[in-house]
Amino acid sequence: MNNIISLSGNLLLIICLATSMLQSLNLFTANSYTNNNVKLFSTIQFTSIVLAFLILIFLFTQSNFGFELVTFHSHSEKPFLYKISGAWGNHEGSLLLWILILTLFNFLYSLSAERDKLYKNKVIAIQSILIIGFVLFSIALSNPFTLNESPQSEGLGLNPILQDPLLAIHPPILYFGYVGFSLVFSLAVAGLLSSNINNVWAETVKSWTFLAWTFLTAGIALGSYWAYYELGWGGYWFWDPVENASLMPWLAATALIHCVVVLQKKNTMQSWTVLLAIITFSLSLMGTFLVRSGVLNSVHTFASDPGRGLYILSFLFLVLITSFTIYALKSDGIDKENSYSIVSRDAGIMVNNWVLITILFIVFLGTIYPLFTDLVLNTSLTVGPSYYVMTITPVIIILLLFMIISPLVNWTAGKLSNVIVKMRYVLISSLTLVLILSLYFFLFSLTELTIIFLCIILILTSISSGIIYSRKNIIITPSLGRTLSHSGFGLLLLAIVSNAVYSEEKIFDAKVGDTLKLSDNTFRFEKINQFEKQNYNSIQAIFYLMDKNKKVEKFSPEIRFYNDPPTITSETSIVHRLFEDIYIVMNVTQATNSISVRIHVKPFMTFLWIGVILIILGGVLSVFIKNKKINA
């Protein structure tokens, strides 16, 4: 029976491979058979992978230990949800998920209405070439349907740190983002080949770009939130190479969405937009390579197989070389003449594009520099968070400045005096607000106050440009997407800065009955519970936040002892309040008569997540909002 399942899984992959090869022919020939059946073939590609993926999920839910993958990554006693998510909580399965989304985007695009049919077929051909690359990899080097040589009675289990509801959906959402840019890439390369990069092209590309960008943003945010409560270090971003690998395509993509809008509205910046589209997807591929190959060591690395690393690396190089060659040959002269004054929205967007690229460069440099010094200079050094904070902070101030000014200046040529007149109320009110803040809190440094000041202005100007009040009614302008995202960004940065300044934490050795104090908060250590669950044993400490003698909030940090694989994890207990999060985590210690707990008070965390949600909502709106063209 297992033989048949394995065979049909492989057969489905081969069907997808064969159809993709047929589709890719459209790039080279005007063969009428393949050209006329694009929709059908795209459906076959998608359906075959959906079925293969369903088979894999079925195998995991059945805990079928006849299969290698299930044996290595599942366990019969695992909760049902994690049996399902176990299907993509490993290298082979996540690769199949990657292919599933590749074919999904291909399928969705094949359904879309595109005027130029030949161009559409080219896009799908390029997308199919990408699919071929990944399906070959799956069949030859990462086959999810490999049978065990001898049947096993029990599996090895899934890393408990990955057994988390958020982490069940984090990879799919992140992949929607990463892979979404594959279509943007295909659209760009096909556009180069057909020489039709213009404002009409940008209109199609815009929705897909915003869609992928929104998913990528959400995926990164989910990962960050997971790290916040699961790792128990109190932070939400660690500048870990894997996090950086997802931030890099995001930065390129953020530059890209702005360029696509400029291209659509003004029909300029063609070559730069196309280049960004290629870079964004290349960075997505590189992210996959870095994470999956084992070059970087972290919880995300599922397998360290040199053959796999080599394959992804060669594939990455192939994609890079081919696309950049096409770019070099075809991008000459696609730029429409654009004159702009240095005081104009054009210049502002260009400046911020470059700021984003600089941040991207910093993140890239910081990530690879330790590898470089290790291999080339023969010295080891660590590039920690403070490097990123120190180098990115000045750049962020420029970013904020231009985020404030650019939307208020006219296209092509504007006047700074107009901007100041437009901003006068906002400027005065934010200055006053900062004045009050600086009187009230003496902890801020000049840099922090500058960022806070700019963030407040950004939020206020964004809101006032998106929603216009008049005596009679409230008008919501088409730039509402920008309003949400930009004010969300302001709020996010505001929260990050004040959180960095005001976070407090302390480690306590506590016995039952103790009272612990951290700044204005008093906690009581009530009791210890021990209990057994389906796949782990647990020690739970119960704390209460006290207000005089009243219990205000309950905390229940835990230490879990998982059986399969045997692992100890520490579960944080977080209470979200409007102005601060209180975060308690138990440390694993040898001591018998007391426990060690760390208490964090983290202000403005709620605002941080609200900021992120606003950014995402802005992205969602922008997928659907149609921009008006302006005449330069």
Partner 1 sequence: MKKSFIFIIFINFVLYLPGYFIHAQTSDERANNLFKEVRCLVCQGQTIHESNAELAEDLKIIIKEEITKGKSDEDIKQFLVDKYGDWILMTPPFDPYTYVLWLSPAIIILFGFGYIYYKSRKQLK
Binding residues for partner 1 (CB under 8 A): 233, 238, 240-241, 297-298, 337-342, 344, 347, 350-351, 354-355, 357-358, 361-362, 365-366, 369, 373, 377, 379-387, 390-391, 395, 398, 424, 427-428, 431-432, 434-435, 438-439, 442-446, 448-449, 505, 587-589, 596
Residue 463 to residues 413, 426, 466, 607, Cα–Cα distance (Å): 24, 10, 5, 17
Vertex 283 angle, CA 388 and 366, to 5°: 20
Residue owning tokens 């976070």: 503
* CB nearer partner 1, residue 1 or residue 443: 443
* Nearest-angstrom CA–CA distance, 559 and 538: 6
* CB nearer partner 1, residue 11 or residue 395: 395
* CB nearer partner 1, residue 153 or residue 378: 378
Strands 521-532 and 536-547: antiparallel
CB of 210 to partner 1, least distance (A): 25
DSSP 396-426: HHHHHHHHHHGGGSPSSS--HHHHHHHHHHH
CB of 417 to partner 1, least distance (A): 13
CB of 431 to partner 1, least distance (A): 5
Cβ atoms within 10 A of the Cβ of 532, count?
A: 9
CB of 385 to partner 1, least distance (A): 7
Residue 533's nearest CA partner among 556, 554, 562 is 562
* Nearest-angstrom CA–CA distance, 214 and 491: 18
List strands edge to edge, sheet with 573-576.
504-510, 595-603, 580-587, 573-576
* CB nearer partner 1, residue 329 or residue 390: 390
CB of 496 to partner 1, least distance (A): 16
CB of 466 to partner 1, least distance (A): 26
* Nearest-angstrom CA–CA distance, 220 and 615: 12
* CB nearer partner 1, residue 30 or residue 421: 421
CB of 342 to partner 1, least distance (A): 4
Q: Would you say 243 and 223 are in contact if contact means Cβ atoms under 8 Å apart? A: yes
* CB nearer partner 1, residue 214 or residue 353: 353
Which ranges constitute the DSSP H helices of 294-305? none
* CB nearer partner 1, residue 111 or residue 446: 446
Question: Taking the CA atoms of the chain, what radius of gyration do you get in angstroms?
Answer: 27
- The token pair that represents 328 in the structure block: 């070099």
* CB nearer partner 1, residue 139 or residue 351: 351
Residue owning tokens 């021990």: 530
CB of 434 to partner 1, least distance (A): 6
CB of 351 to partner 1, least distance (A): 6
* CB nearer partner 1, residue 112 or residue 297: 297
Cβ atoms within 10 A of the Cβ of 331, count?
A: 18
Gap between the terminal Cα atoms of the chain: 67
